[in-house]
Amino acid sequence: MPQYNLQVNGRAVSVESWDPSQPLLYVLRNSLALNGPKFGCGLSQCGACTVLIDGKAARSCVTPVSQAVGHKITTLEGLGTSEKPDPVQAAFIAEQAAQCGYCTNGMIMAAKSLLNETPKPTLEQVKQALAGNLCRCGTHTRILAAVLRAAKA
Amino acid sequence: MLTQRAPAQQATVKPIDVNQVDSFLAFRSDNTVVIYTSKVDVGTGLRIAMRQMVAEELDVPVDRISLVEGDTSTTPDQGGTGGSTGITRGGVEIRQAAATARQALLKLGAEQLNRAAADLTIANGQVRPANGGSGIELGKLVGGRLLSLKVDAKAPLKDPTRYALVGRPLPRPDVPGKCSGQHAYVQDLRLPGMLHGRVIRPPAIGARLQSVDETSIRGIPNVRVVRIENFLGVVAPDEWAAVRAARELKATWSPWEGLPGNDGLERTVREGPLDRDQELVKHGDPSTPLPPGAKQFSANYQWPFQSHASLAPSCAIADVRADATTVWTATQGTHGLRSSLSKIFSIPEEKLRVIYMDGSGSYGGNGNDDVAADAVLLSRAVNQPVRVQWMRHDEHGWDPKGPAQFLDLKGAIDGEGRIHSWETQMWLPASLPGARPFLGVDGAGLTQPHGQGAGQISQNGDPPYAASNVRVLVHWMKQSPLRISNLRAPGKIANAFAVESFVDEFASAARVDPVEYRLRGLSDPRAIEVVKRAADMFGWQSRPSPNPRSGQGSIAVGRGCAYVKYKQAENYIAMAMEVAVDRSSGNVSVRRVTCAHDCGLVINADSLRNQIEGSIIQTLSRALHEEVKFDRSRVSSTDWASYPILRFPEVPAIEVALIDRPTLPPLGAGEASTAPVAGALANAIFDATGVRLRAAPFTSQRVRAALVRS
């Protein structure tokens, strides 16, 4: 079975896939036990699967594993843990910016990508940057507050 | 971090009967306390609220309390999660068990410490003399034994004026894990030997499976096809193989057309067979002759079928074995699910264990029960544990829906603008006895009940304001073209939309400010308080609607309000909203929302706010965007493009005032604040444009068309 050498959360890993078009999402979750990225639609419509590829938000549900080779992949787990959260995670925790939490991965990763490019975004810029991330519980107000809080940190 | 899983070992058999303290609480020898409840969190914060309530009664630190939710083997059946009963029933029952336990612990401590129980207190998880001196840890006092005590309804509760924890905005224990990828969702569970399953549903709801061509997926490794009559699924050790196999497997189905389609729905509802008519409310006589100067009104309102649209498509894992079956699921009703599956699959209840794990928010009965049955069918067929993950088109297409609602309202006001008469007629699907049928079970040709129900959908169809001569009549329909379930605040969002819009028409015709009009019709001080608070926070300027200064250009600005007493008996909620309507595109932008909320005793102010903000945003989404589309054969809105929900650029500024009444019982607040949203929004759109929208969702096409017509 073909092997793919990936760089995930700062470590070199090798995964098998019978299909080069297998989305990275399934590989991360099933081969590497990284459950941060979530299956929400598989259609690149909701953002629950968001990871960083070379520091930029990418939808792992439509990124073939073969295309992820040679790039730096970061998942939510790569940012920090609940005991040692990174500044964006810490901001989300401080604002209690989650209800069911299923969208939270996508929100944090998209926020991280935004802040990598725009360290001090306006509220409007945050709203636009997260426009492609869906939240069904309606936690939007707190998510916006968390991103702005992280930007100040 | 304490987890929510059931503890691995039990020294003695734990009871689950709701009359026993030991069913709800366990005191471990390591000084921790475990709460057992069938009420599940689903993102509401119930799991911190319950801890606070128990910690308060026992004086045990919150972080020494863990919670087991929704495990049919270990948690007593307090009913499923829904109907705003998590705290009101679940938390209150457990609080009483904790109060009972407190008295028993003081007695045990008295024996150990050789003091009178009246001289003792509990502080920081220790029974000790109230005047100081050394005490004994609860872990040592009870140490894993059962208390063997019945819950005492008369056990004294802590005086609310001495609350140290209840009411405070303590952080929720699951949030850090949700922010780091460490929180365990049902989607994350993996078992040894587990296969991944996908179900292939037909292209038309009533279609029969005619043929399956397994050679069509011969290139995909290790896939097994499972066919049971019209139930078709695939399993594979590799998840992607299952996804591709489900997508590529060639199957032919019979044609089927049995739905009216969106365009045919209203006729189906108004002309279809009725189960019965029911007069829900009658005071006075709406046919009383009108006084001089009276004005008459009539208007018809509509609400479409809507989906729970859960962010995560439903997922369940079933491990069916000869001696025992376990199902892991995010269902809101673990005990009901066990009961149904037990009967359908002839598995004795004591051999069937249903264990709740968080999924995404569900807001009622989404696809979670159906996917559990799918998993049982597949696991049973292949004799291995099977995880079934619905795809996006499965969840949007097949989840049971919030029902479509039609309301015809007639009313009249007298010369002073007071409500003289009011009649609401509603068309709603009847509740038929028995559980809702599982899709997979019907597909597989097994016997099951075909019940129907969407919760208490007929409530709040009458105005909460003084009105002589009021009648509410429900036409209960035998059938619903789409399967229904209880979607958040069942029925009440549409009913309150109609009522609050209609009252707003009266106010406008009487040339009275809408807030003032409502206050004139209210005498309950709690109602008056929320209306005034919401208006004050908004900076509401008193004047009749529509706005004489809405703006001449392309943007029309307006404000609207609404008030609801939830279920006419529970929470008091008032809301005010400002909108900007783009006259040329019809786009409605909600700029800000204020909300005043009174639910009695507040347990956790922060998670309560989270629920209210969430209710407002979610319901704005439903009122502005959401409508299930279906043709003659199937639901066609099967992804986020065809079933859009509100996005970040549309989020308004939201201000919430919580009114805390510590001496009153706590009411549930997971859904009540959804009820006034659509009415406030429609009233704001009227204020901005002079146009009444009576059919949700208020899409930009509908708004534009209404503006053109006016």
pLDDT by residue (tens digit) across A56-68?
Answer: 999 999 999 999 9
What's at B209, amino acid-wise?
L
Residue where the block lists tokens 């932008």:
B589
Residue-wise pLDDT for B502-515, tens only, equals: 999 999 999 999 99
Residue-wise pLDDT for A66-120, tens only, equals: 999 999 999 999 999 999 999 999 999 999 999 999 999 999 999 999 999 999 9
The confidence band for B5, taking pLDDT boundaries of 50, 70 and 90, is very low
- pLDDT exceeds 80 at position B215: yes
- pLDDT exceeds 80 at position B552: no
Chain B nearest CA to A9, separation (Å) = 13
Interface contact flag, A137 B641, Cβ < 8 Å: no
- pLDDT exceeds 90 at position A36: yes
To the nearest whole percent, how much of chain B has pLDDT over 70? 98
Provide CB contacts within 8 A for A67, sequence distance 6+: none
Spatial separation of the C-alpha atoms in residues B262 and A90, rounded to whole Å = 46
Give me the mean pLDDT over the B65-93 stretch. 94
Sequence-ordered strand ranges (E) for B229-329: 231-236, 250-253, 274-283, 295-303, 315-320, 325-329
Spatial separation of the C-alpha atoms in residues B519 and B44, rounded to whole Å = 32
Q: Where in chain B is the domain with CATH 3.30.365.10?
A: 21-172, 187-255+308-398, 488-709
Query: Cβ contacts (< 8 Å) between A128 and chain B: which residues?
Result: 648-649
- pLDDT exceeds 50 at position B7: no
- pLDDT exceeds 50 at position B1: no
- Enumerate domains of chain A plus CATH numbers: 3-78 (3.10.20.30), 80-152 (1.10.150.120)
Give me the mean pLDDT over the B112-132 stretch. 94
Query: Cβ contacts (< 8 Å) between A144 and chain B: which residues?
Result: 648, 651
pLDDT, residue B551, reads 79
Residue-wise pLDDT for B382-391, tens only, equals: 999 999 999 9
B211 touches chain A (CB under 8 A): no
Query: Cβ contacts (< 8 Å) between A105 and chain B: which residues?
Result: 181
Type and span of the H or E element at A51: strand A50-53
Chain A nearest CA to B597, separation (Å) = 17
Spatial separation of the C-alpha atoms in residues B447 and B10, rounded to whole Å = 37
- pLDDT exceeds 90 at position B109: yes
Using DSSP, state whether B643 is helix, strand or coil: coil
Q: Where does residue B30 rank: exposed (0-12), middle (13-18), buried (19+ CB within 10 A)?
A: exposed
Give me the mean pLDDT over the B686-704 stretch. 98
A75 touches chain B (CB under 8 A): yes
- pLDDT exceeds 60 at position B10: no
A40 touches chain B (CB under 8 A): yes
CATH 3.40.190.10 is the classification of domain B488-709: no
B123 touches chain A (CB under 8 A): no
Q: Chain A: residue nearest B308 by CA?
A: A136
ipTM, interface predicted TM-score of the complex: 0.98
B560 touches chain A (CB under 8 A): no
Question: How far, CA to CA in Å, does B220 sit from each of A9, B223, B239, B274?
Answer: 30, 7, 11, 50
A58 touches chain B (CB under 8 A): no
How many residues in chain B?
710
Spatial separation of the C-alpha atoms in residues B600 and B572, rounded to whole Å = 9
Q: Which value, in Å, is the radius of gyration of the alpha carbons in chain A?
A: 15
What's at B214, amino acid-wise?
E
Interface contact flag, A128 B648, Cβ < 8 Å: yes
- pLDDT exceeds 70 at position B149: yes
Residue-wise pLDDT for B136-145, tens only, equals: 999 999 988 9
Neighbours of B450 (CB within 10 A): 12
A86 touches chain B (CB under 8 A): no
pLDDT, residue B287, reads 84
Question: How remote is the C-alpha of B308 from its chain's centroid?
Answer: 9
Question: How far, CA to CA in Å, does B478 sit from each of B10, B429, B475?
Answer: 49, 6, 10
Query: Cβ contacts (< 8 Å) between A40 and chain B: which residues?
Result: 311-313, 360, 392
Residue-wise pLDDT for B442-480, tens only, equals: 999 999 999 999 999 999 999 999 999 999 999 999 999
Whether the predicted model's global pTM rises above the 0.90 cut: yes
pLDDT, residue A108, reads 98
CATH of span B187-255+308-398: 3.30.365.10
Interface contact flag, A45 B239, Cβ < 8 Å: no
* Contact yes or no for B39/B336 (Cβ under 8 A): no
Interface contact flag, A100 B175, Cβ < 8 Å: no
Question: How far, CA to CA in Å, does B589 sit from each of B302, B355, B465, B592, B693?
Answer: 21, 42, 29, 9, 15
Residue-wise pLDDT for B284-299, tens only, equals: 998 889 999 999 999 9
What's at B87, amino acid-wise?
I
**Mean pLDDT (chain B, rounded):** 95
Interface contact flag, A127 B651, Cβ < 8 Å: yes
Provide CB contacts within 8 A for A106, sequence distance 6+: A38, A40, A46, A47, A48, A49, A50, A133
B178 touches chain A (CB under 8 A): yes
Query: Cβ contacts (< 8 Å) between A29 and chain B: which residues?
Result: 188, 239
pLDDT, residue B286, reads 82
CATH classification for the domain delimited by B21-172, as one of 3.30.365.10, 3.30.465.10, 3.20.20.100, 3.40.50.150: 3.30.365.10
Spatial separation of the C-alpha atoms in residues B485 and B38, rounded to whole Å = 20
Note which residues in 343-372 of chain B have CB less than 8 A from chain A. 358-361, 363
The confidence band for B4, taking pLDDT boundaries of 50, 70 and 90, is very low
A26 vs B171, B240, B361: nearest CB: B240
Query: Cβ contacts (< 8 Å) between B614 and chain A: which residues?
Result: 99, 137-139
A140 touches chain B (CB under 8 A): yes
The confidence band for B11, taking pLDDT boundaries of 50, 70 and 90, is very low
B445 touches chain A (CB under 8 A): no
Spatial separation of the C-alpha atoms in residues A102 and B118, rounded to whole Å = 49
- pLDDT exceeds 80 at position B217: yes
- pLDDT exceeds 50 at position B8: no
